[in-house]
């Protein structure tokens, strides 16, 4: 490890030798009850550098950056900015020192406009400004930093990529010299990823420093100058990106080589044909609150013991399809059949009791209650059933026992079931949600982007869990923007484009070219 320590002190190859770092961390430690979040972590970040921070979910990446930004106070070690030791008692002190962080889950006010969000809580916002004035100031900031926005737009109407630009612009407008991004591409389309990377490279070329937390190794290899790897809260290496490979980084992150399987053979015989369809749609159309058609005349049937992959660029009707399949949204027209019977009203409890489980794409907003304990979150779907509860009772002791059982089955190590679930890593949250929903899913499991924001080890575990559900006879619907994942797990592949079902193909008949053509809006005859 001696040469690793040496590498951690060396600036990126494109910077002059002797360039002083903007940030140095010396033996940082952070502990929570029963958990070592960080211990003896030392690394540095230079101006004009994009520095990637890698590690499994729960390795301590976000905790370390929360220490840097003043959200947490270190239990040991020193933070050095521009050569001077410092402490940040609160985030505003870090912001004043030029350090800003854009979190994985955006912290904008949805009902406010872009301009209002940019000026909210900013010391330089004049006391008396008209709406026109703050929009003009927002436009000026947009031009200054090269991040296009619509100042008058209400944040709730923006795409994930547009909201992220607002977050970054808000940080940069406050004079950030060090920009920290936590899983910035997790919910972005490929076009938005390209736009983000262009903005980050421009910021770097102007002397800014970037720390990016990500699990997407291909993006890290293309973007970062150096990469640091955490494992179980400790730094295990810092490298020039040109000196490592994705495989070597995975081995360093996990402690052993891990390769995602390209297929998941059945461990039990496939169900015989002719079995009843547990869930199907016939000519279903759905509109959103603004009256825009999101699903257009969609007919689709699920089969027991099969994975149906839903491919398509994000924003082409996937959320609405998941909501219809799980009883969260009613069809405007057409019919939803649940176990052979029409079920056209929105009733998620009825769907759950009929054996339909759901892993939403945003676990913190749609699957979990962040302020509640692990035990309470795991009991959310079974609080009215023995042994946890009943008509007029609820047993917290049984809820904790139940949560521990789910954690053990999911391979999640807990400091205790009474801790708030927001304190767990994203990967551990996702494993618990998936295990909870598999229990519900006696017939159907709808999994929307289940590997989003997960490291390779957690993705491997998640795929194994989906394959086991399939082998148990469950009809699994897998929505993913990762075609490798779709091809690895699916028995059939359906493609959505602009809310229309472009086609359904057996996996054996599908290839990237035909699926890609359907994703771009061409039909099967054109794709051929």
pLDDT bracket for residue 339 (50, 70, 90): very high
pLDDT tens, residue by residue, 82-93 = 999 999 999 989
pLDDT bracket for residue 189 (50, 70, 90): low
Higher pLDDT, 163 or 445: 445
Strands (E), 362-511: 444-448, 475-479, 492-497, 500-506
Phi, psi of 523 (to 5 degrees): -80, 180
Looking at the predicted structure, is the pLDDT value of residue 7 above 70? no
The answer as to whether 77 is a domain residue is yes
The answer as to whether 158 is a domain residue is yes
Report DSSP letters for 262-283, one per residue: S----SSPPPPTTPPPSEEEEE
pLDDT tens, residue by residue, 228-274 = 999 999 999 999 999 999 989 999 998 888 888 889 998 877 776 66
Domain that holds residue 119: 108-176
pLDDT tens, residue by residue, 343-370 = 989 999 999 999 999 999 888 888 999 9
Q: Over the range 150-173, which residues count as b (16 or more CB within 10 Å of their CB) and which as e?
A: bbeeebeebebbbbbbbbbbbbbb
- 443 burial level (CB within 10 Å; 0-12, 13-18, 19+): buried
User: What is the reported pLDDT for 249?
Assistant: 93
Looking at the predicted structure, is the pLDDT value of residue 277 above 80? yes
- Total structural domains in the chain? 4
pLDDT bracket for residue 526 (50, 70, 90): low
The answer as to whether 268 is a domain residue is no
* Single residue among 176, 207, 226 that ends a domain in this structure: 176
Looking at the predicted structure, is the pLDDT value of residue 4 above 50? no
Which has the minimum average pLDDT: 61-70, 97-106, 276-285? 97-106
Same domain, 135 and 8: no
Looking at the predicted structure, is the pLDDT value of residue 207 above 80? yes
pLDDT bracket for residue 423 (50, 70, 90): confident
Same domain, 140 and 24: no
The answer as to whether 144 is a domain residue is yes
Looking at the predicted structure, is the pLDDT value of residue 2 above 50? no
The answer as to whether 167 is a domain residue is yes
Same domain, 300 and 396: no
Same domain, 360 and 229: no
CATH number at residue 505: 3.40.50.300
Q: Which of 13, 14, 67, 12 is nearest to 45 (CA)?
A: 12
Q: Are 22 and 82 in contact (CB under 8 A)?
A: yes
Same domain, 233 and 126: no
Higher pLDDT, 21 or 162: 21
Same domain, 398 and 309: no
CA distances from 276 to 125, 303, 324, 392, 524 (A): 62, 8, 19, 36, 28
Q: Are 455 and 487 in contact (CB under 8 A)?
A: no
pLDDT, mean of residues 189-206: 84
**Structure tokens of 405?**
């059982």
Higher pLDDT, 290 or 1: 290
* Single residue among 152, 176, 200 that ends a domain in this structure: 176
* Single residue among 254, 289, 309 that ends a domain in this structure: 254
The answer as to whether 510 is a domain residue is yes
Which has the minimum average pLDDT: 8-17, 403-412, 425-434? 8-17
Same domain, 520 and 434: yes
The answer as to whether 168 is a domain residue is yes
Same domain, 171 and 203: no
Task: Report pTM.
Answer: 0.72
The answer as to whether 263 is a domain residue is no
Same domain, 68 and 43: yes
User: What is the reported pLDDT for 6?
Assistant: 38
Q: Which of 169, 159, 161, 166 is nearest to 113 (CA)?
A: 166
Same domain, 205 and 245: yes
Same domain, 70 and 19: yes
Same domain, 205 and 310: no
């Amino acid at each position: 490890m001696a040469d690793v320590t040496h590498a951690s002190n060396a600036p990126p190859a494109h910077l002059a030798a002797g360039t002083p770092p903007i940030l140095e961390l010396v033996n940082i430690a952070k502990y929570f009850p029963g958990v070592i979040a960080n211990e003896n972590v030392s690394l540095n970040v230079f101006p004009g550098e994009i520095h990637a921070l890698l590690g499994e979910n729960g390795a301590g990446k976000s905790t370390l950056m929360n220490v840097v930004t003043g959200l947490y106070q270190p239990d040991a070690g020193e933070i050095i900015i521009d050569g001077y030791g410092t402490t940040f008692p609160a985030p505003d002190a870090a912001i004043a020192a030029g350090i800003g962080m854009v979190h994985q889950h955006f912290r904008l006010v949805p009902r406010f406009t872009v301009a209002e969000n940019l000026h909210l809580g900013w010391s330089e916002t004049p006391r008396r400004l008209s709406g026109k004035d703050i929009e003009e100031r927002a436009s000026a900031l947009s031009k200054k930093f090269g991040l296009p926005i619509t100042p008058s737009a209400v944040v709730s109407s923006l795409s994930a990529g547009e909201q992220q630009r607002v977050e970054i612009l808000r940080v940069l407008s406050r004079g950030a010299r060090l920009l920290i991004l936590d899983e910035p591409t997790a919910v972005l389309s490929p076009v938005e990823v390209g736009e983000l990377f262009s903005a980050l490279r421009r910021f770097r070329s102007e002397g800014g420093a970037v720390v990016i937390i990500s699990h997407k190794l291909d993006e890290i290899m293309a973007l970062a100058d150096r990469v640091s790897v955490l494992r179980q809260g400790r730094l295990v290496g810092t490298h020039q990106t040109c000196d490592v490979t994705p495989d070597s980084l995975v081995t360093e992150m996990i402690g052993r080589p891990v390769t995602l399987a390209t297929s998941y053979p059945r461990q039990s015989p496939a169900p015989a044909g002719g079995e009843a369809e547990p869930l199907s749609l016939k000519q279903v159309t759905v509109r959103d609150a603004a009256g825009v058609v999101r699903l257009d005349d969609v007919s689709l049937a699920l089969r027991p013991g099969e994975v149906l992959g839903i491919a398509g660029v994000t924003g082409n009707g996937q959320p609405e399809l998941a909501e219809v399949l799980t009883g969260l949204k009613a069809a405007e027209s057409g019919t939803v059949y649940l176990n052979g019977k029409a079920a056209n009203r929105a009733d998620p409890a009825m769907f759950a009791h009929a054996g339909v489980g759901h892993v939403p794409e945003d676990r913190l907003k749609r699957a979990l209650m962040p302020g509640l304990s692990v035990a309470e979150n795991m009991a959310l779907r079974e609080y009215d059933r023995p042994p946890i509860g009943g008509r007029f009772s609820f047993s917290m002791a049984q809820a904790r026992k139940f949560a521990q059982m789910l954690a053990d089955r999911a391979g999640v190590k807990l400091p205790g079931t009474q801790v708030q679930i927001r304190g767990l890593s994203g990967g551990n949250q996702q494993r618990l949600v998936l295990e909870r929903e598999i229990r519900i899913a006696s017939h159907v499991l709808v999994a929307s982007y289940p590997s989003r924001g997960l490291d390779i080890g957690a993705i491997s575990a998640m795929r194994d869990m989906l394959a086991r559900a399939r082998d148990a006879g469950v009809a699994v619907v897998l929505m993913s923007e990762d075609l490798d994942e779709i091809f690895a797990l699916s028995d059939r592949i359906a493609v959505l484009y602009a809310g229309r079902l472009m086609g359904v193909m057996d996996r054996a008949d599908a290839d990237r070219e035909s699926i890609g053509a359907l994703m771009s809006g061409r039909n099967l005859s054109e794709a051929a």
